[in-house]
Structure formats: structure tokens, C-alpha cells
Structure 1
Amino acid sequence: MYETIKWPEEMKPSRSPIHFTNELEVSASVETIWSLLTDFDSWPAFYPGVQHVQPLDGGDHFGLGTTFETNLAGQDVFASVQEFEPMTRIAWGGYPKVSTTSRAYHAWIITPTASGCHLWTEETMQGPHWLELAKQAPDVFWLTHEKLLRNLAEIATAREHSRG
């Protein structure tokens, strides 16, 4: 049985004009996936378009309440970690710096399997900025997350093989 996202009321899929999910079976351990997702320095290696992640409250790994700036979906974004259950789930919510009225909530659930783990990522987006980008390229966010999952799986698998 898979976990479910703990959506903030205002960001629930039923209230969001943009909502998408992506999932992938990965032959890498939960621990390896978790270590990549929660390490600021790892993101540019697997997250499409990310060049940096700048923590705003110190530290070098994500935790509950961590605030950070990065560049997601071609946008400079301010975000904070709103769900954090080690080895199981992480989610952040935020907005592009050019439009504080546009919001996004991106959650991950990691479930162990016999051959590694199952990754589930789900995102909701609201506001004029995200809607305009979606009009220009309707599948851009979903396709970016498909690439994100493939990249993350490839790096996690390679990391485990190099240790093995």
C-alpha cells in the first residue's frame, strides 16, 4: 500500500488547475534515493535545469522547514520543505520569484520494493505565471518530471554499482 500526499488545503489537486503525477520503479535502495533528494549539491546532477540550490537557513541537507532558492522549470524559485519523513516522503512548496501569486507544491513518496524502490512524485500548480507557461507548452512540467525520474534512477543505480 502506497502512502498518500499530505496536501495543504489550498494546494489540493481539486483546487489546482495544473496537477500531474509521475512514477518509476528503480533498482536502487531507498537510502540512496533519499540521500540524493535531500542533498543540495546533488540536485544539479539529476534535476533538469537546476544549476544550484541555495539553502537560506544554513546546513547542507534538507529538513522539515528548510527554506531554499533554486531554479526549477526555468524559473528562480523560493521554496520551503513542508513534509519530511526520512526515507519515506519529502515535499516542498513555493513560488517563482517573478510571481508570488503563483504557487506550486511538489511531493515525493519513496516505497521500498523487492528490487529497490518505487518513486512517486506529484505536483500541483496554481496562478497566472504557471498557467501561462502551461499554455505555451502543455506537457512541459510532466515531461520534465519524467526526465527527472530517469536521471535520478540512473545516478542512484550508478552510485550503488560503484560502491558494490
Structure 2
Amino acid sequence: MTSSLRLWARETASLVSEFDQWPHDEQPAGAKVFAHNERIIPAPPERVWDLLVDAQGWSAFYANAHFVELADPQQHRLEHGSVFRWVTFGMPLTSEVNPCKRPHLIGWRWWGRWWGRGTHGYHVWLLEPHECGTRVVTEETQRGALPGMTRPIMQPLLRLAHGYWLRQLERQVSGLLQPVEPRVALR
């Protein structure tokens, strides 16, 4: 297979998890919603990693990340134990990073705030060196009444959103996107 063909076929979605270190109460088995997406991004893992740990910069390239704010104002990048608040899919969330192993693995447990209370999940990113750059895998589980009620919509929507996030991540790494003005924090 030629490199150009590999790059053309570089994005997939699945219902099978590759991650084997899920928190015991956030594993895909039994989750109301689960998504697995992956993409080959033509850049080294360190470049992709730098964008992923800059959570406050996500909204510059991922339109579904709003009002991202780290709990510790002295922190500028996600690291093990970081807590951040943000809005995604219209739901205000709090997230806590665990694990964080540069430049290959970052995950965060999240839970809904305000009207999203009782909703929780886990989101993980795996970065592997690949002959064409970096293989990026993102997986997420969702639990609670809201994901249960919205599963027929949320399951495909989450896969679409993560596919979009991966494509935008690639465009940002490649320098194809222009930064946008940051939004005012929402508490």
C-alpha cells in the first residue's frame, strides 16, 4: 500500500476499545454511550500532544469546546491531576486528568454540572508513532440518565464529533487553521 493511499484511508470509527486501563466504573461494557475514533495525523506525537494538553486552546480548532478553564490559574497545560471546566455538546462539565503520560496517553474522568448532574464518563487519547506520523485514538464512555435517554442520537453524534475533532486537530497541527478569539469564561 502506498503512503498516499494510507493517508487517504486514515480515519476509522469502531465500537471496540483498544484502551485497557479504564477506571473500573467507566469501562465500555455497560456504558450508555461509547465511541472509538482514530486517525493518522502526519505529524510527530509531540506536536499532536502539545495541542491536546493545551485545553484552553481547543476552541481555536474544535467548535464543540467552549469556555475551557483550568481550575488552577497557574496551570497552562493539562497534566496528571489537572481539573478543568468546560462546555461541550451544550453540557457544562468538570474533568480531572488521569493518566497523563507525555506524549502517548492522556485521559480524563468527567461529570456533568448544573442540569447535567448525574451524567459522567471517561475520555482517553492514545498517540502512537506511525510511519506516516501519529496514530491518534480517542475513546469515550458516557453513563447516567441523560446518555441513556439520548443514546440513539448521542452514540452516532459522539462518533461524528470525535471524527471532526481529529480532523481539526490535524488541520491545526498542519497550520491550516487560523486562531479565533477566545471566549469569556462561564462559571
TM-score w.r.t. the length of structure 2 is 0.78
Aligned length: 157
SS at match of 1:28: coil
Does the 8 Å contact 1:48/1:144 carry over to 2?
A: no
Please list the CA deviations of residues 20-61 of structure 1 after superposition, one character each: whole Å capped at 9, or x if unmatched.
100001101111100000013321022232122111123111
Partner of 1:162: none
If each structure's helix is expressed as a fraction of its own residues, which one has the higher value?
A: 1
Q: Which of the numbers 121, 142, 159 marks the counterpart of 1:104?
A: 121
2:39 is matched with which residue: 24, 38, 41? Answer: 24
Aligned counterpart, 1:120:
137
Q: Which moved more, 1:93-102 or 1:24-33?
A: 93-102
Letter in 2 for 1:61: R
Deviates more, 1:50-59 or 1:75-84: 50-59
Q: Give unmatched runs, 5+ long, in structure 1.
A: 160-164
Structure 1 or 2, whichever has the larger Rg, is 2
Alignment counterpart, residue 164 of structure 2, candidates 125, 128, 147: 147
Q: What is the root-mean-square deviation of aligned Cα atoms in Å?
A: 1.6
Percent identical among aligned pairs is 25
For residue 94 of structure 2, the aligned residue among 75, 78, 86 is: 78
Please list every run of 5 or more consecutive structure 2 residues that lacks an aligned counterpart in the other structure.
Answer: 1-17, 177-187
Q: CA deviation at 1:157?
A: 1.5
User: Structure 1 residues 138, 4: closer, same or farther in 2, change over 3 A?
Assistant: closer
Please tell me whether the aligned partners of residues 109 and 119 of structure 1 are also in contact (alpha carbons under 8 angstroms): yes
**Quick one: structure 1 residues 48 and 5, their matched pair in 2 at CA, closer, same or farther if it must change by over 3 Å?**
farther
Contact 2:127 2:137 in 1 (8 A): yes
**Residues 6, 27 of structure 1: CA spacing in aligned structure 2 closer, same or farther, 3 A cutoff?**
same
One-letter identity of the residue aligned with 1:119: V
Return structure 1 stretches of 4+ with deviation > 6 angstroms: none
Q: 1:133 — aligned with what?
A: 150
